[in-house]
Structure 1
Amino acid sequence: MAIVALITFVIDQLSKWVVVHLMGLDTRLAIDVLPPFLNFRMAWNYGINFGLLNGGETTKWVLISVALGIVLFVLVWLRRDPPGWPGLVAGGLLVGGAIGNVVDRLLYGAVADFLNMSCCGIENPFAFNVADIAIFAGALGLVLLPGKKPGKNGT
């Protein structure tokens, strides 16, 4: 799980650094990659999903605390009831993504979102990042992938 979390964190932070700083998305604000399917759109998320709870310094620290609390909960849960390798991979995705977004809040005061995808005449106004994908996939995996099955004696 630790390796998956580390890889997820590195990919998230590296993708943000390349797109936001090297490609200059923070000043260009928009880069069409494969329109309309994939575009880079700069969005500083000061709140939670879709900009909800968009607040100031207090909100930032509350969201950092909540994310770290979730990470701690997942780590304890997976240690107490190891789900097997698919669940550990899911846990690593969730932990790595959550830590990636925490680092954004510490560095920038907000989460750097830049991925924007649209299709089939529907224009998506929202942006997200690699950490968001990992958090979603990890949480889904933890819900859908069962833990260890009880043994023959019911334990």
Structure 2
Amino acid sequence: MDNGPVSTDHQPQPEDEQEPAESGAEQPLPPRRIGVVAAIAPLVFVLDLVTKVLATVNLEGSAPVRILGGAVYLQLVRNPGAAFSMATGMTWVLALVAIGVVVAIIWLARRLRSVGWAIGLGLVLGGALGNLADRIFRAPGPLQGHVVDFVSVFAPNGDFFPVFNVADSAISIGAVLIVLLSLFGKDYDGSSPRKAGTSRASAERDES
């Protein structure tokens, strides 16, 4: 019995059709980076503490020590001001500001997903804790303690550049890193506002 020609064409079934990937689909979030902060901040704090102890033991009452051909001088200075000997006479205010900075960084660290931001905040946190420890535990008293500085660049007595310590250096490097990341559009949560804005604009063009 002739049933007529048999069609060999395969009719696509609904399940055979693949849905196009949505251009606006959310990408998985990068992992949290709080561990980076937890590793860097204590390292900076310990390094700052050890160098300050060595400075007070070996440089107290001595003349500036010239090293690296005069590029660096080691000289003990007790600083009542902020980083690089600024804002002297406002010790207790600076101590309170440091406490606020530490609390803010610890709060923000829970949401960190950017390695760069985590490194920067870890440096700032470790440096802030290092100088805050001086303000709390050193003379003349709690929240009024003088910070130990001991590195002078190119000239003793801070004649060329203010005398500083490891904590000051960490705070400065971390702050510069955070500013650069912000300028390049990298947020602390790992997102990039510029890229997100470009993706949204492209999606709107495709819909129009």
* TM-score of Structure 1 vs Structure 2, range by shorter chain: 0.7 to 0.9
Structure with a larger share of its residues in helix:
1
Counterpart of 2:61 in structure 1 is 27
How many residues in Structure 1 have an aligned counterpart in Structure 2? 145
Distance in 1 (alpha carbons) for counterparts of 2:129 and 2:43: 12
Unaligned regions of 5+ residues in structure 2, if any? 1-36, 139-144, 202-208
Distance in 1 (alpha carbons) for counterparts of 2:95 and 2:69: 34
Higher relative contact order (CA 8 A, sep 6+): 1
Unaligned regions of 5+ residues in structure 1, if any? none
Deviations 1:97-155 (A, max 9, x none): 00000111122211111101118xxx51521000000000111112212222256679x
Q: In 2 relative to 1, CA 97–50 (structure 1 residues): closer, same or farther, beyond 3 Å?
A: closer
Q: In 2 relative to 1, CA 139–65 (structure 1 residues): closer, same or farther, beyond 3 Å?
A: same
| TM-score normalised by structure 2 residue count | 0.63
Quote the offset at 1:76 in angstroms: 2.3
Taking only the aligned residue pairs, the percentage that are identical comes to 32
Counterpart of 1:90 in structure 2 is 120
Counterpart of 2:70 in structure 1 is 36
- Please give the residue correspondences for 1:5-84 in structure 2 after superposition, counting only pairs within 5 Å: 5-21=41-57, 23=58, 25-55=59-89, 59-80=90-111, 82-84=112-114
Q: In 2 relative to 1, CA 131–110 (structure 1 residues): closer, same or farther, beyond 3 Å?
A: same
Pick which of 32-41 and 11-20 moved more: 32-41
Matched residue type, 1:96: G
| TM-score normalised by structure 1 residue count | 0.82
RMSD of the alignment, in Å? 2.2
